[in-house]
Amino acid sequence: MGLFDKLFGKKEKESLDKGLEKTKENFLSRITKAIAGKSTVDEDVLDDLEEALVSADVGIDTTIQIIERIEKRVAQDKYLNTSELNKILQEEIENLLVDAPEKSYQDFNTPTGKKPYVILVVGVNGVGKTTTIGKLANNFRKAGKQVLLGAADTFRAAAVDQLTIWSERAAVPIVKKEMGSDPASVAFDTVNSAVARDIDVVLIDTAGRLHNKAHLMEELAKIKRVIQKVIPDAPHEILLVLDGSTGQNALEQARHFTATTDVTALAITKLDGTAKGGIVLAIANQFKIPVKFVGVGEKMDDLLVFDKKEFVDSLFNLNDRQ
């Protein structure tokens, strides 16, 4: 039983295993092919491994770092064989992933002394942003938190409607205004209401227009300013939601958002429907921002707190679970 099992139980670990099945099949099949018939880890094996990692959407920069680390270990042990390669590869991949703060969101708890705890959720349309907010609300509520949603994506009527539906599913209240309202005013009213109602967690949705639009970033800055009029140290988290199934496109979105706003955490969605889960490694490593949540299914409970050790364990050992 791993750390993830201890924190959330067998059910959640099984969800992670199942959600990564397609990625694992793609990832490990390429690695297995790279080392087939080889007895030692030589230059040819490393070349094949490099190609396998790039093909699995781990990304060129991250792949190079992994290969360089393995090369150092090969140099230290001249008799390193391919049967040891999987273990070493797991260790080096795990080492590349950014550590979240200790006990970050463990059991969907929030830091003490931060009430209400404000999470501003950003990301382009179609990545599963609204769904992620709904699932987060559900998980926080199940953990005993009082949750409030803020529908600050006022440029699409569908966005407000969708968030309203999720608020009903998660059984949490929502603050919203008519389409076309000032998003910052919605955010302001949301945090004001949260303070008055003694809310624990506030989740604020934001417009999901194209990530390269300067006015969107200006809007996010304005939302932060008005929130701070009520809660000076908020938002406490700026959570960027990315669709893991889009591979390198998700990496590009992360590049734009991190360049223009202070993203503090990542949520990677739709990992259950893709063989491109390796993109999690590329994004987390390149931007040095912790992945804190992963989406591995459509059910309300299929948004999991990310644990890098268990993620890598699932990536390599799905078939070993009993």
> Each residue's pLDDT tens digit in the chain (322 positions)?
344 444 446 777 788 888 888 888 877 777 887 777 777 788 888 888 898 888 778 888 899 999 998 888 888 876 677 778 888 888 888 888 887 776 678 888 888 889 999 999 999 888 999 999 999 999 999 999 999 999 999 988 789 999 999 999 999 999 999 888 999 999 999 999 999 999 999 999 998 765 556 777 788 889 999 999 999 999 999 999 999 888 888 888 898 888 878 999 999 999 887 777 788 888 888 899 999 999 988 888 889 998 888 888 888 774 544 3
Tokens of 150: 């803020």
Q: What's the pLDDT at 102?
A: 62
Q: How far apart are CA 63 and CA 82, in angstroms?
A: 18
Q: What's the pLDDT at 166?
A: 95
Q: How far apart are CA 160 and CA 284, in angstroms?
A: 30
CA within 13 Å, CB half, 182: 8
Q: How far apart are CA 206 and CA 198, in angstroms?
A: 23
Please say whether the beta carbons of 318 and 20 come within 8 A: yes
How many other CB atoms are there within 10 angstroms of residue 197's CB atom? 11
Where does 10-96 sit in CATH, by number? 1.20.120.140
Q: How far apart are CA 157 and CA 181, in angstroms?
A: 11
Q: Do domains 10-96 and 106-308 have the same CATH topology?
A: no
Q: What is the domain partition of the chain in residue ranges?
A: 10-96, 106-308
Superfamily name and number for 106-308? P-loop containing nucleotide triphosphate hydrolases (3.40.50.300)
pTM metric for this prediction: 0.89
Q: What's the pLDDT at 319?
A: 52
Q: What's the pLDDT at 16?
A: 84
From the number of C-beta atoms within 10 Å of its C-beta (0-12, 13-18, 19+), residue 53 rates as buried
Tokens of 36: 């087939």
